A and B are shown apart, each in its own frame.
Chain A
């Protein structure tokens, strides 16, 4: 055995090395060098704390409030939304709320909506800005992306079911009220939106807006991904509770005839086959 090959594992064995902090039993909990109970509690909002935990940086209150606003826009009590539907199934089968939320959160890691869209939308706008700074126009950025990834879809633009995104309008209003300025990523996202609206009536979706906004404030794709990992929680719990209070197995009941069978007709099982 090569001893240097396992040196790393031996060094880590039986210890925990934390870059974030930990619980000092008695005095306080340390989060990135700050005391939770003696320093942060009372002066810091939950969203500031969440962002500190994820990034190691304590954001100003207005940014945490803006992020909180996006969470409000990202999760509604409508059981047709796919992740909410899953929490509703959990409620109708009487799981615990934690199991329902966990199932719904997993479902929201989707390529079409929810935190599953964060990485592609952030990478797109970050790369797009580099292209723009190299002199490439918004229309060409769209064309290049489609060519490279062999798709018509542009991450952060368009959405399932609806055209337009009323949430972006509301969040822009909130950003203005909180006196945030429009940075280069968002400016470019607006130009790309103008191109896509002209071409196919596709507007920026909330994910596209959030990723551009936070990229302007130097948040990385991985940080944003972690931050939004539980963003659909409110709607999940609302739908779970709704189903939990209704009779069991009563959510969208299906008759047998409600399933279209398209497989082979009934046939005998022949062991000689």
Chain B
């Protein structure tokens, strides 16, 4: 029983002696077994990759172990542009701007921005959930799915609502910029079932006044069409959004603390419990 003294002992799980990877092979230097002379990514010599391969081809190879088709390559590159800057009003960007102005150690600025960008609302967690949602529903009719989800929405919610992760309203309306970027990506030869399905789904949401595409939904659909696993999506979304966070932080890093609003006491309201 619980109140008797417990015998606590190691459980005897068998842990691996060494880490295993299918991604990376190194050749040891003859004079030092800790240093490498050559590295291979999924079998391709890094030097060969460096000479022959674009950055995005290499990223795709790293992530999937496969070489991407020209259509996948183009989609990945365009997606990289679409996601590269969440913009100065996105809370993750505002976080890095606040950090830069308040003179946070520069080495911490990007990690803290990516932490904020990890969220389930407009962040990386929503991308993962969006990929799961799309994977589960691709065989359903997107219009029916949108209508059903709209019908199930709770009417009393205050603020934005996302009938499905990655899709819904932003500031009470449609995020037209996400929609426009999605329209461009949909023209790519690499755009597949997921982007097409999500396009119809978003269109029906918009038609009924429930928003439409949001950036996490756009990323989720494109990642699925690129053959990526839902577990890869959140981190990839954070990483692809990093350039904009870096740029906005850099722009503000030399500015004084007064370069940002510090809300006056007259506009700071403490609601009583």
- List chain A positions with a Cβ less than 8 A from chain B: 1-2, 5-6, 8-9, 14-19, 21-22, 24-25, 30, 32-33, 56, 95-96, 98-99, 102-103, 106, 160-166, 168-169, 172, 190, 193-194, 197, 203-204, 253-269, 271, 273
Contact = CB atoms under 8 A, between A and B. Distances in A.
B18 A193 contact: no
A267 B44 contact: yes
B156 interface: no
Given A163-B9, A260-B18, A263-B22, A190 B43 contact: no
A258 B36 CA distance: 13
Contacts of B254: none
The list of the 3 closest CB pairs from A to B, nearest first, reads A5-B172, A164-B8, A263-B22
B34 A255 contact: yes
Contact of A263 (B23, B67, B173): B23
Contact of A258 (B8, B18, B44, B51): B18
Given A256-B28, A259-B26, 13 more contacts: A16-B268, A56-B273, A161-B11, A162-B9, A163-B7, A164-B6, A203-B2, A256-B36, A258-B19, A261-B24, A263-B43, A269-B45, A269-B51
Interface string B241-273: 000000000000000000001010101111111
Counting chain A CB atoms within 10 Å of each CB, the highest count among B261, B263, B270 belongs to B270
Given A260-B19, A262-B20, A99 B111 contact: yes
Contacts of B13: 160-161
B273 A33 contact: yes
B271 to A, nearest CB: 5
14 contacts: A2-B173, A15-B267, A19-B273, A103-B111, A161-B13, A163-B11, A197-B1, A204-B2, A256-B33, A257-B33, A258-B18, A259-B26, A264-B22, A266-B40
Given A1-B173, A194-B2, A262-B20, A8 B159 contact: yes
A26 to B, nearest CB: 10
B214 to A, nearest CB: 16
B6 A169 contact: yes
A269 B271 contact: no
B155 interface: no
Nearest to A109: B118
Contacts of A33: 272-273
Interface residues of B, number: 61
Contacts of B272: 33
Contacts of A262: 20-22
Contacts of B112: 102
Contacts of A8: 158-159, 172
Contacts of B18: 258-260
Nearest to A24: B265
Contact of A96 (B24, B105, B269): B105
Contact of A269 (B7, B49, B265): B49
**Residue of B43, B105, B171 with most chain A CB atoms under a 10 A cut-off:** B43
A33 B65 CA distance: 57
B159 to A, nearest CB: 6
Contacts of A2: 172-173, 209
A1 B169 CA distance: 13
B48 A268 contact: yes
Given A18-B271, A164-B9, A263-B22, A269 B44 contact: yes
B1 A190 contact: yes
A169 B40 contact: no
Given A203-B6, A266-B45, A271-B52, A98 B11 contact: no
Given A8-B172, A163-B9, A269-B44, A255 B271 contact: no
B184 interface: no
B53 interface: yes
B11 A165 contact: no
B24 A5 contact: no
Contact of B263 (A1, A5, A14): A14
